[in-house]
Amino acid sequence: MQKQTVAFSKDSSNLFFHILTRCNLSCTHCYINREQHGANTLDIDTIRDWLALFSKKAAQTNVIFLGGEPTLHPDLHLAVKSAKGLGFKSITIDTNGYLFHDILDKICCDDIDFLSFSLDGATRHTNDAIRGEGTYDTVMEGIQKARARNFSCSMIYTVSDQNIHELELMPDIVRGLDIDRFFIQVIGIRGKSSKTDGKLQVSKETWLNIIPGVAETIAAQGIIVTYPKVFLDEDETFQCAGHVADNYFVFPNGRVYQCPVCEDFPLHSYEIKHNKLVATPKINEKDLFDLTIPEGCVMNKMIQPQNLAYNESGDPEHKIACCMLKEEISI
């Protein structure tokens, strides 16, 4: 079993490209905020132009097509082929499993590296309460259809206090699915999650007691498992991906963020105007990346301080890692 923290690198880049914000579902933890991200659907010419903006480092850049639900876009297949033609390092489609517009008929397994399916419960009851009635069966059917056509598939499980009790059931669920990767995500307090009552994120104790063990059990099946580090050890130095790596979160209204925690606010580093990537004026998220605080992530401290805990002296009990810092387990 091999476990490693995936280090940040300026030589590697991720382009999280939201080509629309529309979706057929209404998941309780959806991070999309149309007031901040736009309600428009990008046309294929704009998608191609915007992909070209990031193509100078195409060979080092992973493209992830997102929404909303990206397969609702009738020209997603053309977007995929454009990204392929520009030579991006890898191409992924994140989907809720409904696979609209016959996307599996319009692309082949050589066009993309992964179809990534979201499932947020090991049972229909839990998953469908979060994502909508019938979504559990739809995801399972979607994976089967994709694997029948030799697409490489991955699964994303977004952990919250609504579903962490079922995470330990997931090794048995994925055993027969023939997926290649399993991603455990920590729920972000943004979008819909920021408007819910109660604490959706789990405690440090719960996270550390459950996540690493489940990750190792799934990895033992030959599936690569990735999950956010979340909590730094005392001897670990905090690093902000916005400062030491190239990650871009692009939305249909032209906003380009480098920190996903900021996406509910007009703090974006860049805007796309007239098909040019333009730096936004101060103060934006980039002006905050260099700040050093005992709590670790300054964005977390500013935007979602409910994630932090302090002792009787007022000192932070732990440092929060950058949400882009991942642990990876494989055999």
* Domain extent listing, the chain: 2-330
The answer to whether 169 touches 157, Cβ cutoff 8 Å, is no
Q: Pick the range with the lowest mean pLDDT from 52-66, 88-102, 198-212, 254-268.
A: 198-212
252, 42 Cβ separation under 8 angstroms = yes
**Weakest-pLDDT range from 22-31, 196-205, 314-323:** 196-205
Which residues have C-beta within 8 Å of that of residue 17, sequence separation ≥ 6? 47, 50, 51, 63, 64, 65, 66, 250
| pLDDT average, residue stretch 36-49 | 98
pTM given for the model: 0.96
**pLDDT category, 197, cuts 50, 70, 90?**
low
**Residue found by looking up tokens 């696979």 in the block:** 99
In the CATH scheme, what is the homologous superfamily, with its name and number, of domain 2-330? Aldolase class I (3.20.20.70)
The mean-pLDDT minimum among 164-178, 190-204, 272-286 falls in 190-204
Instruction: Report the pLDDT averaged over residues 223-251.
Output: 94
- 3-state SS assignment for residue 317: coil
CA-based nearest residue to 181, from 148, 156, 163: 156
Q: In angstroms, rounded to a whole number, what is the distance separating the alpha carbons of residues 230 and 324? A: 9
Q: Tell me: the pLDDT tens digits for 79-88?
A: 999 999 999 9
Q: Is 238 helix (H, G, I), strand (E, B) or coil?
A: coil
Residue-wise pLDDT tens digits, 202-231: 999 999 999 999 999 999 999 999 999 999
Q: How much is the mean pLDDT over the chain?
A: 95
- In the predicted structure, residue 198 carries a pLDDT above the cut 60: no
118 forms beta bridges with 156
> Percentage of the chain with pLDDT > 70?
99
Element (H, E) at 125: helix 124-131
Residues 129-149: pLDDT tens digits?
999 999 999 999 999 999 999
Which positions ≥6 away from 146 have C-beta within 8 Å? 99, 104, 115, 153
Res 193: pLDDT: 87
Q: What is the pLDDT of residue 200?
A: 86
